[in-house]
């Protein structure tokens, strides 16, 4: 998450502001009942090249007007269907006449709402299970009768609704699968979307393509052509400003806008002085020289350092940086005559998060809460990636010909090195961190490990330690190294880097970076730690 991307999540304000006309794709809609896996279901279906969107369970039917919906998936969820407050599927879902696949809570809802019976199981069933399907069903076409699946439920179907037949049982659920083939209604007690259900993707493909008849027409090439058209339609003859952060999202968004409107796009890159070694130059080379975009680099290094003087509190740092960013960006954007649009790389998870959770969720770190620029400058948003997941953005970027260094760049926080210099941020302390970080990341890359890690970076601690070099006692800074593996930033595991790599890095940092005499490796996972130290 970086740069302007941080402005994506101004909760609740995004959906109405931008709505470029998009072609009506054959699509599956996932109705979200609060499962941690709802988005994963959508991703899995898109991996089958069928377009899929997630809607909150209380959405109106009109939320899907832009799509040619061919079927619904009801997600899992934390509730029990027999609780009075439990969320229900809207009547228009079952009233649509379209196929419905209920997963876990979604299956139990289906049973409850269509006249069956659900009750608490005698034991919770969590983890791997085996099921054996009986009879023929389009949902299991081409699959063996015995399947390994992943369960996570306490309730179970006591009696399927009229019209449904049980298709499989597991040790703890007499009805692990149920079907009413005539109506295209299916229920799965297990989770086909998780990797622990090895044939889950086949089941979802059978549902989307076989039962719903949705075409597999969601490809990067189509997406690019349609999006370029949509940007042209939205922007007309206007001018667009786009903030580049160096990360993949803003790069792909800018490249799509550039394809659509060429020189009427101006990209701004704010050099806040909190970047890693060589980063500003890399961005300039990639976008101005290679991609031939209209790029302005704003040298705001002094402004940021001044804003950070004597600040040690991480949240104060973030607020000061957010404000300095907006000031620097706005001052430059105002010099672009008649720019009325702001292009940014908002991704689908942020759109869903802001639409379904509003502003109520706990604020651990404030990076989802910066913003206000579009309103202040009265700019209309252009968000070509607002329906994409991160891996899809990379696929689109590759198709657009973006270089690997940009496509596979690890996430870098908007406040940059300021949240990796613990304590006060000064030019000198930044220089120490930058030098140590360049050694660590360089060695990780040379070892071929960069892509396998979510992030790897150095932190300058505010601890000074005693050491001995030659015959001298030293009293220097301690650098911490952090490397994590993750699927997304919600959870992360500290990376088991090879000891000889760590030894080489430690040795080089102490020898090559003045004032550093100790290197430690962070072995905390998230949770309970966060990825960044501040």
List interacting residues with ligand XMP (CB under 6 A).
Answer: 1-2, 6, 318, 364-365, 367, 411, 413-415, 455, 489, 526, 530-532
Instruction: Sort strands 493-494 and 516-521 into parallel, antiparallel or unpaired.
Output: unpaired
Which of 53, 125, 193, 279 is the catalytic position? 193
Q: How far is the CB of 534 from ligand XMP (least distance, A)?
A: 8
18: phi then psi, degrees, rounded to nearest 5: -130, 130
Nearest Cα to Cα of residue 167 among 153, 192, 185 = 185
Q: How far is the CB of 8 from ligand XMP (least distance, A)?
A: 10
**Shorter beta-carbon distance to ligand XMP: residue 410 or 465:** 410
**Shorter beta-carbon distance to ligand XMP: residue 134 or 361:** 361
Q: What is the 3-state secondary structure (H, E, C) of 213-280?
A: CCCCCCCHHHHHHHHHHHHHHHHCCCEEEEEECCCHHHHHHHHHHHHHHHHHEEEEEEECCCCCCCHH
Q: How far apart are CA 293 and CA 295, in angstroms?
A: 6
Which of 53, 57, 104, 443 is the catalytic position? 104
Query: Which residue carries 């550039």 as its tokens?
Result: 258
Q: How far is the CB of 463 from ligand XMP (least distance, A)?
A: 20
Q: How far is the CB of 4 from ligand XMP (least distance, A)?
A: 9
Q: How far is the CB of 531 from ligand XMP (least distance, A)?
A: 3
Q: How far is the CB of 324 from ligand XMP (least distance, A)?
A: 13
Query: Which residues, in sequence order, are CB contacts of 143 under 8 Å at separation 6+?
Result: 133, 199, 202, 203, 206
Active-site residue, 226 included: no
- The pair of three-digit structure tokens given for residue 145, joined into one six-digit string: 């009768």
Query: Which residues, in sequence order, are CB contacts of 46 under 8 Å at separation 6+?
Result: 52, 218, 389, 392
**Shorter beta-carbon distance to ligand XMP: residue 202 or 532:** 532
**Shorter beta-carbon distance to ligand XMP: residue 224 or 393:** 393
Q: How far is the CB of 465 from ligand XMP (least distance, A)?
A: 25
**Is residue 488 a contact partner of residue 348, using CB atoms and an 8 Å limit?**
no
Which of 57, 191, 367, 477 is the catalytic position? 191
Q: How far is the CB of 9 from ligand XMP (least distance, A)?
A: 10
**Shorter beta-carbon distance to ligand XMP: residue 463 or 491:** 491
H or E element that contains 522: none
Query: Which residue carries 């000061």 as its tokens?
Result: 320
Q: What is the 3-state secondary structure (H, E, C) of 138-197?
A: HHHCCCCCEEEEEEEEEEEEEECCCCCEEEEECCCCCCCEEEECCCCEEEECCCCCCCCC
**Is residue 482 a contact partner of residue 459, using CB atoms and an 8 Å limit?**
yes
Active-site residue, 191 included: yes
**Is residue 53 a contact partner of residue 64, using CB atoms and an 8 Å limit?**
yes
**Shorter beta-carbon distance to ligand XMP: residue 50 or 272:** 272
Nearest Cα to Cα of residue 461 among 534, 383, 360 = 534
Q: How far is the CB of 467 from ligand XMP (least distance, A)?
A: 29
**Shorter beta-carbon distance to ligand XMP: residue 368 or 429:** 368
Chain centroid to CA 440: how far?
A: 26
> Other CB atoms closer than 10 Å to residue 157's CB: what's the count?
26
Total length of the chain: 534
Active-site residue, 279 included: no
**Shorter beta-carbon distance to ligand XMP: residue 8 or 235:** 8
Q: How far apart are CA 447 and CA 452, in angstroms?
A: 11
Query: Which residues, in sequence order, are CB contacts of 484 under 8 Å at separation 6+?
Result: 453, 454, 455, 456, 492, 493, 494, 495, 525, 526, 531
**Shorter beta-carbon distance to ligand XMP: residue 2 or 356:** 2
What single-letter DSSP state applies at residue 334? T
Residues carrying an active site annotation: 104, 191, 193
């Amino acid at each position: 998450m970086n740069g302007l991307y941080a402005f994506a999540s101004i909760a609740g304000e995004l959906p109405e502001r931008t709505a470029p006309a998009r072609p009506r794709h054959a699509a599956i809609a996932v109705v979200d009942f609060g499962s941690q896996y709802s988005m994963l279901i959508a991703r899995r279906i898109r991996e089958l090249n069928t377009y899929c969107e997630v809607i909150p369970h209380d959405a109106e039917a009109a939320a899907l007007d832009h799509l040619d919906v061919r079927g619904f998936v009801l997600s899992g969820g934390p509730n029990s269907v027999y609780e009075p407050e439990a969320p229900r599927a809207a009547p228009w879902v079952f009233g649509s006449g379209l196929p419905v696949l209920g997963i876990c809570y979604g299956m139990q809802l289906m049973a409850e709402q269509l006249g069956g019976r659900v009750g608490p199981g005698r034991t919770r069933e969590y983890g791997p299970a085996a099921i054996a399907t009986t009879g023929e069903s389009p949902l299991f076409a081409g699959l063996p009768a015995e399947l390994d699946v992943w369960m996570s439920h306490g309730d179970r179907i006591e009696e399927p609704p009229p019209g449904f037949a049980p298709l499989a049982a597991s040790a703890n659920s007499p009805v692990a699968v149920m079907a009413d083939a005539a109506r295209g209604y299916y229920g799965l007690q297990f989770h086909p979307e998780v990797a622990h259900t090895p044939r889950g993707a086949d089941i979802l493909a059978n549902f989307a393509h076989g039962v719903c008849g949705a075409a597999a027409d969601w490809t990067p090439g189509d997406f690019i052509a349609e999006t370029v058209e949509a940007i042209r339609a939205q922007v007309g003859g206007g001018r667009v400003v786009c903030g580049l952060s160096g990360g993949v999202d803003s790069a792909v968004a800018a490249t799509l806008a550039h394809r659509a409107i060429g020189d009427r796009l101006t990209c701004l890159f704010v050099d806040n002085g909190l970047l890693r070694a060589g980063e500003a130059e890399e961005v300039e080379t990639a976008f101005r020289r290679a991609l031939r975009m209209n790029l302005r680099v704003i040298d705001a290094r002094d402004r940021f350092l001044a804003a950070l003087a004597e600040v040690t509190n991480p949240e104060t740092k973030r607020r000061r940086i957010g404000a300095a960013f907006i000031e620097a960006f706005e001052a430059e954007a105002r010099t672009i005559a008649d720019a009325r649009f702001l292009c940014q790389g908002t991704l689908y998870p942020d759109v869903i998060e802001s639409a379904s959770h509003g502003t109520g969720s706990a604020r651990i770190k404030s990076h989802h809460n910066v913003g206000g620029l579009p309103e202040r400058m009265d700019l209309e948003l252009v968000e070509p990636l607002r329906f994409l997941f991160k891996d899809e953005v990379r696929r689109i970027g590759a198709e657009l010909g973006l270089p690997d260094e940009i496509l596979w760049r690890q996430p870098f926080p908007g406040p940059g090195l300021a949240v990796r210099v613990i304590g006060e941020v000064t030019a000198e302390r930044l220089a120490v961190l930058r030098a140590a970080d360049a050694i660590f990341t360089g060695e990780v890359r040379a070892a071929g490990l960069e892509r396998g890690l979510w992030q790897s970076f150095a932190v300058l601690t505010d601890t000074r330690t005693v050491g001995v070099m030659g015959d001298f006692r030293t009293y220097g800074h301690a650098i911490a190294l952090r490397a994590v593996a993750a699927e997304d930033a919600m959870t992360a595991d500290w990376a088991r880097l090879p000891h000889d790599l760590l030894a080489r890095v430690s040795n080089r940092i102490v020898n090559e970076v003045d004032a550093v005499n100790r290197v430690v490796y962070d072995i905390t996972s998230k949770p309970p730690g966060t990825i960044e130290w501040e």
